[in-house]
Structure 1
């Protein structure tokens, strides 16, 4: 059974993609989706009761669909707007995830989404992820990864407490 943190990440990611990008994540990847490269990444740093980073990696071939659904068909071909749309998804996922794992009273400060040139550079300075989720989208895939720095062992107990209080 997935941890409370992974379940919260799954709910926040699924809801954000469905409501904001009008795309429906598939948790069972097709062979085509599994083979699609994760070649673009954005991250959102956060600090508050927990400090860390949410990373959203994606196949660049799904960016036009994301952008068209969020900003309109004309914007879908513009590479900077594609990156901005992915960054906004990461920002909203992070904003929805943190209250789910730390409680609605917790106050966090989020950085602006940062687009990474190399997807491998995103986690180079981080410990192992606290939670991660891979899912298929159209002919590509995406991955949401949560890194919590510091007291990683306390994250799950905080998350379980937040769920109990809700």
Structure 2
């Protein structure tokens, strides 16, 4: 299965844009790769269902140091643990990144809708995408750690 580069690039651009504008954090995308399993590449994740012209999902996973720095910037005060506020922020960031990506994709005449994100946290947690298919992971590096965007579409 080949991923549509227009869709992948839209998610990549949305992640960089949203993290920069909402949290004032610069991020640098790394080389995308296919994931072989459902283990999360971070300490907290959110998964959101995507439907419409394509059926799939997006997951956003953060290392603890990365999400604490991002949420500290969002809230304007230090965040020292992954708590309910951090989980809510991960869900909101997932919504906004997915929404920005869908807007960019719609400019290419591909219409997608999104569901409500599900948050999962903890060491070695798993990401259960609602659709089967190859999982493309795009790692991002920030000054405070890494986050990853995973995208999968039904085959």
TM over 0.5: yes
TM-score range, shorter chain: 0.7 to 0.9
TM-score by structure 1 length?
A: 0.70
TM-score by structure 2 length?
A: 0.75
- Write out per-residue CA displacement over residues 30-69 of structure 1, whole angstroms, 9 at most, x where no aligned residue: xxxxxxx622111111222222211001101222211121
Aligned-residue Cα RMSD (Å) equals: 2.7
For residue 143 of structure 1, report the CA deviation from its aligned partner.
0.4
Q: Is the 8 A contact 1:99 1:106 kept in 2?
A: no
1:119 to 102, 122, 125: 125
Q: Helix, strand or coil: the match of 1:121? A: coil
Structure with more of its chain in helix, by fraction: 1
Mapped to 2, the partners of 1:49 and 1:4 lie a distance apart of 13
Change in 2 beyond 3 A, CA 1:111/1:103: same
Mapped to 1, the partners of 2:111 and 2:24 lie a distance apart of 28
Aligned to 1:141: 146
Structure with more of its chain in strand, by fraction: 2
Aligned to 2:29: 27
- Write out per-residue CA displacement over residues 115-160 of structure 1, whole angstroms, 9 at most, x where no aligned residue: 124532334863212x43111122310100111225xxxxxxxxxx
Flag structure 1 segments of 5+ consecutive residues without an equivalent.
Answer: 30-36, 151-166
What number of residue pairs does the alignment pair up?
140
